Amino acid sequence: MSEAELLARHRAVLPQWLALYYDEPIEIVRAQGRRVTDAEGNTYLDFFAGILTNAIGYDIAEISDAIRAQLDTGVLHTSTLYLIRRQVELAERIAELSGIPEAKVFFTNSGTEANETALMLATQYRRSNQVLALRNSYHGRAFGTIGITGNRGWAASSLSPVKVSYVHGGYRYRDPFGSLPDADYIKACTDDLRDVLQTTTAGDVAALIAEPIQGVGGFNVPPDGLFAAFKEVLDSYGILLISDEVQTGWGRTGEHFWGIQAHGVTPDAMTFAKGLGNGLAIGGVVARGDLMDCLTANSISTFGGNPVATAGAKATLDYLLDRDLQGNAEKLGHHLIAGLRDLGERYDIIGDVRGKGLMIGVELVESGGKDPSPPNAAALLEETKARGLLVGKGGLHGNVLRLAPPMTLTGEEADEALEILEASVAEVAR
């Protein structure tokens, strides 16, 4: 069956709002390292899966072996009502890595569930259903998380059980005071936070939830220290800080293991998912013990932290720590960002290049100005694909290319991607 036939069947039976990339969507049937092959035999360098699923790459023997060893026991899963050795071991590792004092971990199957859990903990702990979030944020696809997502394009329902107020600080490139120097920008955002607290809430807010670098929102990097300034205000109200590390965790930002560490603050809770499984479904929350234990009713997740997912996740974590993939992300991130900034100097359809480590956004604008250009981004997605490179797209206006390769990326592959991007930008700019 061709990809075109599969697409027709997909359209007939799956929801119309289930977005697919590309004019001719691809079916990936094989993968190795940082490359994937589609059903028609085309091979691509994958510069997007690093964030979505395969944090460190495809077909890694150490990880496959750990998963296979679990499969060989016959126990894919029985019940989270029994002890699961790998779950305990993985929780211990994550609790220690989190830097949160006396941390405890709850495993879920996805980032959405992780954030739903964090919201439940915070609202229960504070006995308040008011939450603060950043404008332009993305936190998931369930009822509560959709309600706090600050991007209408991804918030399919407005009937939220959570009362949310939005603050600035997410999307500096287009924030009203985004052009201010770092310190002044931080002050303006902190003043905005105080103002929002005094004008749109009763003060008894449960938590501020934020992505240290917005993912779906277009890889937006706030100045280091923003969340430390926020935390001072939050602390004066007793409001909790939840860091959504679903995209920024596990060393992807290069300089730090968790995105929030760039700000020199320890959050009350962090949520994680995606990359930890390197393709398997796993997510979770790591939180202060008293916060995690504030629930008094039983709460389990049928599949969260199952033996297969935790075996794979533990092997992934070992692999990325043993090989200092965070250091690799930092080094190649600098290289890619420098190359892309150089490209940005030469082509005025590139409005902004930003990022940290292997989480890099390229914002496309109308030639010479700052108006967002979704058509240029869409055209670039096709041009890069035609040249054998898969990249992501995002941003409030759908005009940001998102580059997030697996963290085992090599220097040669980084250069190959830069060359393809250069040729593609030249074609679109023409």
Give the interface with ligand PMP as residue ranges (CB under 6 A).
Answer: 110-112, 115, 138-141, 211, 215-216, 244, 246-247, 273-274, 283
Residue 36: both structure tokens together: 């994937």
Of residues 116 and 383, the one with the C-beta less far from ligand PMP: 116
Of residues 87 and 112, the one with the C-beta less far from ligand PMP: 112
Quote the least distance from Cβ 96 to ligand PMP, whole Å: 23
Nearest residue to ligand PMP, using CB?
A: 111
Quote the least distance from Cβ 19 to ligand PMP, whole Å: 12
Q: In the sheet where 43-46 sits, what is the strand order?
A: 28-32, 35-38, 43-46, 389-390
Collapsing DSSP to helix, strand or coil, 255 comes out as coil
Spatial separation of the C-alpha atoms in residues 240 and 166, rounded to whole Å? 15
Of residues 111 and 372, the one with the C-beta less far from ligand PMP: 111
Of residues 145 and 424, the one with the C-beta less far from ligand PMP: 145
Quote the least distance from Cβ 298 to ligand PMP, whole Å: 23
Of residues 111 and 312, the one with the C-beta less far from ligand PMP: 111
Quote the least distance from Cβ 122 to ligand PMP, whole Å: 15
At which residue do the structure tokens 């049928």 appear?
Answer: 302
Spatial separation of the C-alpha atoms in residues 79 and 373, rounded to whole Å? 49
Quote the least distance from Cβ 137 to ligand PMP, whole Å: 8
Of residues 234 and 270, the one with the C-beta less far from ligand PMP: 270
DSSP letter string over 300-338? Answer: --SSTT-HHHHHHHHHHHHHHHHTTHHHHHHHHHHHHHH
The CA R_g of the chain, rounded to the nearest whole Å, is: 21
Collapsing DSSP to helix, strand or coil, 118 comes out as helix
Quote the least distance from Cβ 201 to ligand PMP, whole Å: 23
At residue 176's C-alpha, the angle toward residues 175 and 179, to 5°, is: 80
Of residues 208 and 414, the one with the C-beta less far from ligand PMP: 208
Of residues 216 and 378, the one with the C-beta less far from ligand PMP: 216
Secondary structure E strands in 226-381: 240-244, 269-272, 283-288, 350-356, 359-364
275-302 burial, b for 16+ CB within 10 Å, e for fewer?
bbbbbbbbbbbbbbeebbebeeeeeebe
Of residues 56 and 425, the one with the C-beta less far from ligand PMP: 56
Query: 12, exposed or middle or buried, with CB in 10 Å at 0-12, 13-18, 19+?
Result: exposed
Quote the least distance from Cβ 113 to ligand PMP, whole Å: 7
Phi first, then psi: give them for residue 283, nearest 5 degrees.
Answer: -155, -175
Long-range contacts of 423-427 (CB under 8 A, 24+ apart): 423/383, 423/387, 424/380, 424/383, 424/384, 424/387, 424/389, 425/343, 425/347, 425/349, 425/350, 425/380, 426/347, 427/383
Quote the least distance from Cβ 217 to ligand PMP, whole Å: 9
Phi first, then psi: give them for residue 92, nearest 5 degrees.
Answer: -60, -45
Spatial separation of the C-alpha atoms in residues 428 and 380, rounded to whole Å? 7
- H-helix or E-strand containing 198? helix 182-200
Of residues 210 and 379, the one with the C-beta less far from ligand PMP: 210
Quote the least distance from Cβ 139 to ligand PMP, whole Å: 5
Quote the least distance from Cβ 42 to ligand PMP, whole Å: 26
